[in-house]
Structure formats: structure tokens, C-alpha cells
Structure 1
């Protein structure tokens, strides 16, 4: 057990994680997920018709408009006009719809193997990769990293990690469901960047300060990082996933405390 006087320092956490040998293997006898590649819907069924409507919508969206704010943030040319709504250039949550788009297209392609969709979603990944390369730190978002400066300073900001989770999840889906290796490289580079940010917060302040910053919407950062660790085996990915487990929620949940019903889990 870590001593209280150690303040659960980053180095101690890392040593504890390394000495633990990582996660144990998954036991046998569990249900297994059926691959979307092995499932096809009857095109004349209500579900098949709904799937076709969804496919047409995903194909309708424009690549340049989807990545407009990403390019703006990276300092690249911005052809076309940005989408409005959640993706409007003045909305601090911009970019999370694009993450959803990456997940939706990966799942739809796995379900249909539609060639036009594969070309479009690959173009989005490629455009985002150009943005990430231009920034050069691993950071990738439709908003500047200054929002994370505010987040870490406990200043008002609209859930930047919520959006980052959606982007990471979308890129990881592009890899796991569509085999896009570029998307996996982008994911690990992004995670390296945020590993360093979290490390800096813990080193500069305390781990308690890091936990405090999570008392808002951080999406499923832990979920996508656990999934990434299963793929990479990188202990840094596992440790960062643990650091996004919310003690204020999971601790009460583990104790079956009634107070948990008043908390916003996401």
C-alpha cells in the first residue's frame, strides 16, 4: 500500500504498476462479441432500411467541413465552411461529433463494406493526421490546447476531455474495425501527449488535484485507454486509464453508497 506521506507520487504509481505485471488474462466462459463483419441485415427489414438511411447520411457529410476546425487549430488552410451546431467554431465541444463520425463510419463499414464509405472515412483520418503532424506534439483537437490549461487550473471550460475521448474512440474504432494502422499511430501519439499532461499536473501539484479536475464530464477516457492497453500492452496506457477512474464515483459505487445516484458519472 502507498503511504499517505508519499502523496501517491507519479513515480511511485509507475513503479507499482510495473511491478504488478499489468492486467491478468481474461478468464474463459465469457460471452464473446460477434464481429460486425459477420453480421448482415436483411435490406428489406425495418433494421435494414434504417441502416441504409444511416449509411446515406454518413456518405452525405463533407470531409472539408468535418475537419474545418481541426485545420484551423493546426494552422492549415480551411477550404469550405464549418458545420454548425456542436461543431460550430465558437463551441468549446467542437470536434466531438467528428469522433462520433469516425466510430459510426467504422461500424457501418464493418457492417456493409461499402467502398465509398471506406474512402470517405479514410480521407477524414488522413486529414486529421495532417493536422496532428502540423501541430507536432501529438495533440489533436478542433480546439486549442489552451482549453486544457484552463481545465488543469480548475477554471471554467466546457469538458475538453469529453471531446478528446470521442476522438480517441473514433480513431481506435477505425483501427479495430477497419484496419487503419494510421489511426492507431495517431491514437498512441495523442495518448503520449495526454500522459505527459497528466504527469505534469501530478508532479506540479498532487494526485488529489488531478482527481479534483475530473469532477466534470471527462467522457470515457478510462474506457478507451483500457481498450488501447489491450492492443498495445503499454503499461503507460494502463496507468493512465486507472488515473481516469473517478474515485468520487467508483469508490461510492464499490461501497454501494446511495449517494452515487446524485453524481454525474460521465
Structure 2
């Protein structure tokens, strides 16, 4: 853990709560204004100790830990009678910054209690005493202590402690406002917490003489970034219902970017003496294309005759619905110059789609050759590094979660990939799609080494045979007299479940593949796809999903890549089966539902699955696959609304503020 001399922030927020009702969080996509990639772990404690982040760092409860009903948070963790929670030892690995947030309600004000204690041992640890109001970082004889007003029992509270090593400052916030600030001396956190021997307790001290916590806990979070003052305030405001946690779509700019006054010129603009107006033409319905740079004059030579102009970004095309003329006023930042663009709107048709002038080529048509001296180039060296590593991979690791989803036994020695391919990660199978593409491309490009090529051919066949066999089980009876559901549109909820659920735990995952509809293949049951249709949002809870069509795109693309380079018919049949499953379900949905799905942050992210379905149509000439591809048209972004009134197709900027990886696949 690289803590030394690095900007380090630890955040734990204590904000008193007088109201008895809280607004529910909207999901993990942008929790309290903080990007979900910053979240290491989140323990809601609403009946279990699961980590609801993408990292699955589930905590362990002591035997006497209990959950109790609560008028504020419905269900919370109650720590009494020496109960405590232990976090996985690896939770704080490879951290450069750290923030923590939790809700706490003391049951009693007995002195010397510990909210949490992280460290190596009782001589080197980081802990908070909520009764005395102390935040302590101790490394043997050296200790840094910050203080805050002690908490009252019987009241939910949220305390924020920020330790900024770079600024040598400790700040403590109470109820969203700065309660105290203290200058610190040099601090090396690596002497307190490391990756080799961490003990991470909630409600228990590393020192045997210190009493355990007598309190209720809810929503304990750990972040890998230093949270800002505004983020501390947002945690308070959102939790108390003063603001709503939603996905950004064309709102305020990021508050951590450099800010410059509008009337203070920067760089060359300080020498600007004039900016030209201009005239542009467009056709009815199509917003004009305005130049980013226009002609300008400067009082000294500055190696340019242009200046950057910021133009307004309309949210629709209402200004160009009739022929005529109108003006748009731009702004040259840091100056008073406001160039005008006269827009002439004419009758006519929009510009035609440009013709494609480039063509694809096959990988086996390209070779990397040694230079004139017979030496390997850097291209060859880097290729060989990748190819050699890929050749040594075990396909069973990439098939592990598929077999797990279908309830099939694992081959001896098979182990899961980990990271995004762990038991409860909702993106399971994503890497497998990439792997299929990688081994297909490696096979196609290793004709120079037949041994390597045969290696990748064997891997392709093994992968495809397994996926094909699993897909052939879906929607079919296990015995002649067994019940089953072959219709993809009639997939029921899982056994003993009243609702569709993304629970992928060993105890909770459904494996009744005979009820999943014919052709289904994925590394998790169909529930995530169905839940998205019903409005599920992105996140780690059992009622949330993680971009099921994004992962499916990788799988379909990988299968088609294998088919294209090898002619493996099972790869094609497997892709066809799942494509038919998708078409059967999506073709029954209203357009407005599809628009909502594809614009639901991350949950509705689908990568380039429309391209893969169109690719499949090109191979098979099955019209249903082309229709399926068209069902993924991002109508809101490209056409504005269901009536196709504006959007990108008519030069309306609908991208601003959106998640780029979702909308620009």
C-alpha cells in the first residue's frame, strides 16, 4: 500500500438527523455525486453484511450481531454484547487515498467505545471513538488526534473526518459544516496500514482493553478517492432529502476543474482586438454547423488568425423548423467579444449519408516481418509477449461462471478469473467475450507458427463446444416428463422467488436453465435482462443490474469472430440462439420502453450489440436479426424522441453530460 507522502484522505461523515424519514438512494451509479468507480465497498447492513459495490468485499459478522427494525432506515445492524464486524483483509490494498462514510446511532454513552479500528496492531492503527469525539492515527509513540463534539445516544448521526496529508490538515465536519480544523505534522500512513497484515474491525478495537461499540450502524462506505467538501455536503443533503441522487444529464460542470473568471482573458485572448461575425446556411429541421474557431485580429503576432468561440447548445431544433433568418450570439471566454452568426434557414434536404471509402481486411493478410538486418521489431516483440501469454491461459477459467450459472460441475483444477468474474459480480462473462475475440484473432494471425495456431484452434473449439452445450440445455426438459419453458418471453421467476432477482450468490443463484427459454446463453440467469425491461437501475443490490446487453455484446461478438476465422458452425448456432432469444423479448416491448432502457445509466448500456446483430444478419440473412439490431437504436440520442423530431441526426447536441462509454460504443 503506497500511503507515504501521498495525498490521503479518510472520510467518515457524522451528520445529526432530526427527521424520521429519509429519501432512498437512486442506485450506485453516481452515489451522492460520487462516481461508482471510486467506491471500494458499501455495507448497507439491511439484513446482511454484503458489499454492494462492484468489488464483492463481503464482511463477516460475529455470531451475536443482529439486525433490527428502525423507523429511519427500516432495517439496520445492531451491535451489542461485544458484537462486531470484520472486513476482508484486502479491502484497503493498493490505496493512495481513502474516504469512509457511515451512519451511527449510539445506544449508550459509555466511554471508550470504538466505531472502527483499522491497522496492524494496537500500537499502529487508525480508529474513531464516537463517544469521546476522537479521531486517532497512531504509529507506536507518535499519534495524531482530531476532535469533534461527542455524539448523543438515541440519535442517528453522520461524521466527516478529512485527513489531507499533502496539505497537512485535519478537517472534521459535523452536520455538513466545518466543526474543527487542525494543522498536522508529516504523516506516513504506511506505518499504520499496509497490505500484509491489516485487521479491519467495525465496532471492535485492536486494543483488548477498549470496549466494543454499543450502537446501530447503517450504510458504511469506503472510497478510494479523497472526497471534496461539496461531496461531504451532498452526502448530508441527499440523505436528509434536501437533494436527489440522480444521473447527470447536462447540469453543472465538475467542481474539481480549474475555474477562470468570465471577464479575465487567458493566453492569446489578452491580445485580442476584434472577432468577425459570420453567416451560415442550413436546411429546415437541421441545426446549423457553427465553426469552433472564427477569424480574429490581435494587436501583436500570436501565430494564429483565429479565436475559439463558444456557441449556445440548443436542446431541440425549434429554431429551424421554418425557412427564414435568425442570429446566434457566441462568447469568447475571458473577453467582452460576442460574435454573431447569422443563420439562413432554407428549404431542402439534409446532407446525404457519406459513402464508405475504406474496406476491412483479414488478419491473415497482414504479417509482421523482421527488419533488413533480420532483427525483430518492437511490433514483433510486443505481439509475441501478448500471444505467448494468451497461449498459456486456461479456457476453464473463462467458462467457470457459465457452468456455475447452469449448475454444472467444474472440471478439476478450474478456478474463476476473479475481479469482474467473481461469484456475485453482475458483469460475469464479460471477459469471456473478449477472450473469444482474442483467441480468434490470435488464431487468424499466427499462421507463421503452426504450433501456436493449433493451440488457439484447440482453445476456440473447447470454448465453443462448452458454450454450445450449455445453450442447448436452455429451455429444454431435463427428462422426458419434466416441466420446462421454451418460450423466451415466458421465463418465470426463479424457484421460490416472487420477483426477478440478480442474486448471484452460491445460495441465491437460480440454475433452473430449463425455464430460461430456448437459445439462452450467458454467465448469469436471464433475470438481469428481464429486470432491465421492468425498469431496474444500475447497482450492486439484488434489485439492480449491470449492463446485461453490454456483456452479451462481447459474447456475441466473440462467437462471431470465432465463426468468421474458423467456420465453426457451433459458434454460429450459439450466437443465433441467443439473438433469437433477444429478438423474441425485445420485439414485444413498446418503443418508449426501449428508449427508457437504452438511456438508463449503465444498466442500459449495450456496447455495440446492434453491430453484432447486424453482422449476424449479414451472415445468415435472417431478417429477425436485422430487426433485433434496429431495436437497439438509441432514439433519444440520435432522434430526440419517439417521433424523430431532432437529436444528433439533426445536429442537436444530445450527448452533453451523458456517460460516453454507454452512448459512444
Give TM-score, length-normalised by structure 2: 0.34
Aligned Cα root-mean-square deviation (Å): 1.7
Aligned equivalent of 2:454:
115
**2:406, 2:473 → 1: CA distance?**
6
Aligned equivalent of 2:652:
257
Q: Which runs of 5+ in 2 are unaligned?
A: 1-353, 371-375, 448-452, 476-517, 537-543, 640-646
Q: How does 1:22-171 map to 2 (within 5 A)?
A: 30-42=357-369, 44-79=376-411, 80-113=414-447, 114-136=453-475, 137-155=518-536, 156-171=544-559
Q: Identify, as 1 or 2, the structure richer in helix.
A: 1
SS at match of 2:464: helix
* Deviation of the 1:164 alpha carbon: 0.5
* Deviation of the 1:135 alpha carbon: 2.1
**1:70, 1:179 → 2: CA distance?**
23
Of residues 579, 594, 604, the one that matches 1:210 is: 594
* Deviation of the 1:173 alpha carbon: 0.4
Structure showing greater relative contact order (alpha-carbon pairs closer than 8 Å, 6 or more residues apart): 1
Give aligned pairs, total: 236
* Deviation of the 1:182 alpha carbon: 1.2
State the 4+ residue runs in structure 1 displaced beyond 4 angstroms.
none
Describe the superposition over 1:46-87 as per-residue Cα deviations: whole angstroms up to 9, x where unpaired.
111111111112122212111011011112112322110111
Q: Is the 8 A contact 1:74 1:132 kept in 2?
A: no
**1:61, 1:135 → 2: CA distance?**
28
Q: Is the 8 A contact 2:610 2:630 kept in 1?
A: yes
Aligned equivalent of 2:255:
none
Tell me, yes or no, if structure 1 residue 233 matches structure 2 residue 626.
no
Q: Identify, as 1 or 2, the structure richer in strand.
A: 2
* Deviation of the 1:231 alpha carbon: 1.1
Describe the superposition over 1:191-214 as per-residue Cα deviations: whole angstroms up to 9, x where unpaired.
1111111123x1xxx221122111
**2:423, 2:441 → 1: CA distance?**
27
Q: Is the 8 A contact 1:168 1:224 kept in 2?
A: yes
SS at match of 1:70: helix
Of residues 563, 569, 589, the one that matches 1:181 is: 569
* Deviation of the 1:90 alpha carbon: 1.2
Q: Is the 8 A contact 2:587 2:631 kept in 1?
A: no
Q: Is the 8 A contact 1:40 1:112 kept in 2?
A: no
User: Which structure has the larger Rg?
Assistant: 2
Give TM-score, length-normalised by structure 1: 0.84
Aligned equivalent of 1:7:
none
Aligned equivalent of 1:15:
none
Q: Is the 8 A contact 1:214 1:246 kept in 2?
A: yes
SS at match of 2:656: helix
**1:89, 1:131 → 2: CA distance?**
18
**1:170, 1:29 → 2: CA distance?**
25
**2:626, 2:362 → 1: CA distance?**
25
Of residues 618, 629, 633, the one that matches 1:245 is: 633
* Deviation of the 1:176 alpha carbon: 1.0
Aligned equivalent of 2:507:
none
Aligned equivalent of 1:20:
none
Aligned equivalent of 2:230:
none
**1:133, 1:228 → 2: CA distance?**
19
